[in-house]
Amino acid sequence: RLILAIVRSIKQDPECRGLIVASRLNLYDALPYPLGWGMDRRGGSEADLTEPLRLVGDLIEAGVELFAFTMGNPYYVPHINRPFDQKQAGAQETPLQGCDRLIRGVAAVQAAYPEIPMVGLGFSWFRDFGPSVAANALRRRGLSMAGFGRQSIAYPDLPADLLQQGKIEPGKCCTTCGMCSELKANFCVSGCVTRDSEVYLPIYRQYRADKQAGMNEG
Identify the top-confidence range among 22-31, 54-63, 80-89, 207-216. Answer: 54-63
Q: Picking from 19-28, 38-47, 168-177, 179-188, which range would have the lowest pLDDT averaged per residue? A: 38-47
Question: What confidence score (pLDDT) does residue 91 get?
Answer: 62
Question: What confidence score (pLDDT) does residue 90 get?
Answer: 57
What average pLDDT does the segment 129-134 reach?
A: 96
DSSP string, 116-133: S-EEE---GGGGGGHHHH
For the segment 66-79, what is each residue's pLDDT rounded down to a tens digit?
A: 999 999 987 777 78
Q: Picking from 49-53, 178-182, 201-205, 213-217, which range would have the lowest pLDDT averaged per residue? A: 213-217
pLDDT range class, residue 88, cuts 50, 70, 90: low
Whether residue 114 is preceded by a cis peptide bond, meaning omega within 30 degrees of 0, is no
For the segment 142-164, what is each residue's pLDDT rounded down to a tens digit?
A: 999 999 999 999 999 999 999 99
* CB-count burial class (<10 Å; 0-12, 13-18, 19+) for 209: exposed
Question: What confidence score (pLDDT) does residue 89 get?
Answer: 56
CB atoms within 10 A of CB 59: 21
From CA 197, how far away is CA 203, in angstroms rounded? 9
From CA 115, how far away is CA 50, in angstroms rounded? 19
The pTM (predicted TM-score) of the whole model is: 0.88
Q: 2-175 architecture in CATH?
A: Alpha-Beta Barrel (3.20)
HSE at residue 46, side-chain half, CA atoms within 13 A, is 7
What residue segments make up the domains of the chain, in order of their start? Answer: 2-175, 177-218
